[in-house]
Structure 1
Amino acid sequence: MIGLLVALLSAVVYTVGLAVEQRALHGSESISVHRPLHLARVLLGNPRWVFGCVFAALGSVGLIVSLGLAPVSVAQPAYAAGVATTLLVITLVTGERITRGEYVALGVMPVALALLSLSTADGAETGTRADTPLLVLVTVVTVVMCVGAMGLAGGRGRYVSAAAMGAAAGLAQGSAGLHGKGLGGLLAEHGVLGAVVPALLSPFPYLYAVGWAVGIVLFQTSLQRSRASITAPVSNVVGNVFMVVAGTILFNEALPDDPVMLGLRVGGFALTLIVIVLVRGNVASAEADTSRKRAAALVPEAPEPH
C-alpha cells in the first residue's frame, strides 16, 4: 500500500513539472533532435523549463522508490494512471480544449491501469534482483532502436509526428525505468546509505541516465509540437506496457495463477492499446493548433507609433 501511495504522489509531482515544461516550450524557439546542441541551449537557457524539469525529476525519483516497495505491475501502472488523471485536471483548469476522443482516452487509461493493479491483489512478491546481463542487453537494444528509428525517419526528410516521437520517448524512458527498479531494489535491500556503493558498482544509474536523457530529448521535442494531453498518454502507455512486461520477466515477478487475476492483467493491457488508438486520431489537429499558437506567441509586437 505504501508503494502505491508513493507512486501516486510522485505522479502528481511529475505532472506539475510536465505542465510547466509545456508552457515553457510553447513559448520558446523550435527544437529538433537533429540539432542537439541548439536543443540543449534552448532548454537549459529557459529558467521556467529548468524549474519544471526539476519537479519532473523529483517525481521520477519517487517512482524509483515506489518500485522498490511494490511489484512493477502495481507501482508503474499506478504512476501512469496518476499522471493521466493529474494531466486531465491541469488541462481543464487551464481552460485548454480537449476532444471527445481525448476525454475517452484519459478516462480509459486509469481504468486500464487499475485492472493491472487489481491483478496483483492476491499478494504478488516484489522482485528486487534482475538478470543483469539480459537487462543491459534489453536496454541497449531499445535505446539504439529508438534513436535509430527517429534519426532514420527524420534524416530522410519525413515528418515524425508528435505521437510517434512520444512513443519512442516512452520506450526509452521505460528502459530507464527498468534500471530505476533495479535501484529501487537496492534501496529496499540495503537502505539509503547502504545502497550507495552497490548502486555505483552496478550498471543501473548509468543506463538509467542514458535512457532518461534519450527519452527526455524525444519527449520534449514531441511536447513542443503538440499538447501534453496528446503526447503524455501515448508516451506513458507505451512505456508502461514495455516496463510492466519486461520488468515482470527480468525481475522474475510471476504472472497470476488465478484465471480471474490473469484476465484482469490481460484486460488492462488490451485497454492500454485502445488508448493509443483513441489519441492518435487527434494528433494532426492538435499539432496544427499548437503550431498556430506558438507562431502567434513568437511574433514580436509592433512598435507603437510616435
Structure 2
Amino acid sequence: MQAVLLACGAHVIYLIGFSIFKATGGELPPLTARRPFQAAGRLVTSLPWLVGLVTVLSGTVVAAFAVDTAPVAVLLPTYMCGLVLVLIVGVSGFGERVSGREGRVLALLLGTLALLALPASQGYGAIASRGASAPPSPAAWSFTLAVLVSILLPLWLFCMRDRKVEGRHTRRTTGVAYGIGAGVLLGTAEVMGIGVIPYIPDDLTGLLATPYPYLFVLAGALGLGLLHIGLQERRLIIVVAVMNVVGKLHLVASATLLYGEPWPDDPVWLGLLAGGMLLALYAVLLLPRHEGRRAAAPPVQAGPRGAGVTAPGRSSVASGRSR
C-alpha cells in the first residue's frame, strides 16, 4: 500500500511539473529537436522551466522510493489517478478538448489500467529492498540493446524526421509521436535510476564508474526536452497520457531485460499482466495521429483593433503561426 501511495504521489508531482512546461511553452520561441543545443540553451535560461524541471526531478525521487521494495509493474495501475488528473487539468486549466474517438480510447486505457491492478497487487510477493541488494550486472548484449533502441531510435525519429510541413490542407499532428519518443527516453532514465539505487549512499565512487548516472542524465535530458517541444504546440492531454503509458511499459520491459525483474508465477496473473500491457499499448496506437477538422482548442477570438487574443489551451506560438 505504501508503494501505491508513493507512486500516486509521484504522478501528481509529475503533472505539476508538466503543467509548468506547458504554461512556459508560449513564452519561449519555437523549439525543434533538430537543433538540440539551441533548444537546450533556451530551456535552461528560462526560470519557470527550471522550476518545472526541479518539480519533475522531485517526482522521480518519490517514484524511486515507491519501487524500492515493490516491482516496477506496480506503477502501471497507479497511473489511473494520473490519467484522470491529466484530463481534468487539460480541460479546465488549458481549455483543451477531446474528440469522441480520443475519449473512447482514453476510456479503454483507464479500463486497461484497472485490469492491471489485479495482477500487480495479487500476483507478487514481497521483494527485498533494492537499496540493500547487490548492484545489478546485466549482460553486455542486453545493456547495449536497451541503450541503442531506447536512445538512438527517438533521436533518429525527431532529429532526422522532425520537419515542419506547411500547406493549405496540412493537418496538425496530435502529439502522439512526441509522447512515444519522450516516453521511451524517460522510461530509459527511470530504468537507469533503478540501477543507481543499490549504490546510494554508501558506494558513490563505484556508482561513478558505472554508466547508470550518465545515461540517466542523458536520457532524462533528451526526454524532457522532447516533451517540452511536444507540449509547446500540442495538447497536454494527449502528449502526457501517451508519454506516461509508453514510459511505464518501457520501464517494465527494460527492467526485465536488464535486471531480471520478477513477473507473477501464477499463469493467470502472468497472462493478465502481459495481456493488459499489450492492450494498453494497443490503446495508444488507436489514438488519431492528426487533428480533426475542428480545432482541438477553442478558436481565436478577435480583440480590439483586430488584435488576436489566444484562447486558453492554445499557445501563443501556435496562434502566431496561424496568421
TM-score range, shorter chain: 0.7 to 0.9
Letter in 1 for 2:222: V
Q: For 2:179, which of 139, 145, 166 is the aligned residue?
A: 166
Which protein has the bigger helix share?
A: 1
Contact 1:180–1:208 (CA under 8 A) maintained in structure 2? yes
- For each residue in 1:69-117, what CA deviation from the matched residue of structure 2 results, as whole angstroms up to 9, or x when unmatched? 2111113x14543432221222243243333333334333343234334
Q: The residue matched to 1:194 in structure 2 has which SS?
A: coil
**13-22 vs 97-106, greater mean Cα deviation:** 97-106
**151-160 vs 66-75, greater mean Cα deviation:** 151-160
Q: Give the Cα–Cα distance (whole angstroms) in 1 for the partners of residues 297 and 108 of structure 2.
A: 24
- Unaligned 5+ runs, structure 2: 131-135, 301-313
**140-149 vs 281-290, greater mean Cα deviation:** 281-290
Letter in 2 for 1:6: L
Percent identity over the alignment is 26
Q: Please say if 1:53 is aligned against 2:53.
A: yes
Structure 2 equivalent of residue 256 of structure 1: 264
Structure 1 equivalent of residue 162 of structure 2: 154
Structure 2 equivalent of residue 303 of structure 1: none
Structure 2 equivalent of residue 86 of structure 1: 85
Q: Give the Cα–Cα distance (whole angstroms) in 2 for the partners of residues 62 and 31 of structure 1.
A: 30
Q: For 2:207, which of 190, 199, 202 is the aligned residue?
A: 199
Structure 1 equivalent of residue 315 of structure 2: 294
Distance apart, 1:119 and its partner CA: 1.2
- For each residue in 1:106-153, what CA deviation from the matched residue of structure 2 results, as whole angstroms up to 9, or x when unmatched? 333343234334213132454843516333541234201211222221
C-alpha change, 1:148 and 1:281, in structure 2 (3 Å) is closer
**281-290 vs 2-11, greater mean Cα deviation:** 281-290
**57-66 vs 287-296, greater mean Cα deviation:** 287-296
Q: Give the Cα–Cα distance (whole angstroms) in 1 for the partners of residues 61 and 187 of structure 2.
A: 14
Q: Give the Cα–Cα distance (whole angstroms) in 1 for the partners of residues 109 and 281 of structure 2.
A: 9
Q: The residue matched to 2:98 in structure 1 has which SS?
A: coil
Distance apart, 1:31 and its partner CA: 0.8
Contact 1:84–1:109 (CA under 8 A) maintained in structure 2? no
Q: Please say if 1:112 is aligned against 2:112.
A: yes
Distance apart, 1:4 and its partner CA: 2.0
- Unaligned 5+ runs, structure 1: 300-306
Structure 1 equivalent of residue 16 of structure 2: 16
Contact 1:124–1:253 (CA under 8 A) maintained in structure 2? no
Q: Give the Cα–Cα distance (whole angstroms) in 1 for the partners of residues 157 and 318 of structure 2.
A: 32
Q: Give the Cα–Cα distance (whole angstroms) in 2 for the partners of residues 205 and 287 of structure 1.
A: 42
Contact 2:150–2:184 (CA under 8 A) maintained in structure 1? yes
Q: For 2:219, which of 201, 211, 215 is the aligned residue?
A: 211
How many residues align? The count is: 293
Letter in 1 for 2:45: G
Q: Give the Cα–Cα distance (whole angstroms) in 2 for the partners of residues 164 and 297 of structure 1.
A: 18
Structure 2 equivalent of residue 73 of structure 1: 73
Letter in 2 for 1:102: E
Structure 1 equivalent of residue 191 of structure 2: 178
C-alpha change, 1:138 and 1:144, in structure 2 (3 Å) is same
* Alignment TM-score, normalising by the size of structure 1: 0.82
What is the RMSD computed on CA atoms of the aligned residues? Answer: 3.1
Q: The residue matched to 1:264 in structure 2 has which SS?
A: helix
Q: Give the Cα–Cα distance (whole angstroms) in 1 for the partners of residues 317 and 152 of structure 2.
A: 37
Q: Give the Cα–Cα distance (whole angstroms) in 2 for the partners of residues 286 and 18 of structure 1.
A: 25
Structure 2 equivalent of residue 302 of structure 1: none
C-alpha change, 1:78 and 1:26, in structure 2 (3 Å) is farther
Letter in 2 for 1:96: E
* Alignment TM-score, normalising by the size of structure 2: 0.78
Distance apart, 1:177 and its partner CA: 1.4
Q: Give the Cα–Cα distance (whole angstroms) in 2 for the partners of residues 113 and 98 of structure 1.
A: 20
**124-133 vs 106-115, greater mean Cα deviation:** 124-133
C-alpha change, 1:79 and 1:202, in structure 2 (3 Å) is farther
Q: Please say if 1:131 is aligned against 2:132.
A: no
Q: Give the Cα–Cα distance (whole angstroms) in 1 for the partners of residues 283 and 298 of structure 2.
A: 21
Contact 2:26–2:317 (CA under 8 A) maintained in structure 1? no
- For each residue in 1:143-199, what CA deviation from the matched residue of structure 2 results, as whole angstroms up to 9, or x when unmatched? 012112222213697999422122111111111111112123x16xxxx53253443
C-alpha change, 1:285 and 1:278, in structure 2 (3 Å) is farther
Letter in 1 for 2:50: V
- For each residue in 1:216-246, what CA deviation from the matched residue of structure 2 results, as whole angstroms up to 9, or x when unmatched? 1211111112011011111222222222122
Q: Give the Cα–Cα distance (whole angstroms) in 2 for the partners of residues 38 and 71 of structure 1.
A: 39
Distance apart, 1:264 and its partner CA: 1.5
Structure 2 equivalent of residue 33 of structure 1: 33
C-alpha change, 1:276 and 1:32, in structure 2 (3 Å) is same
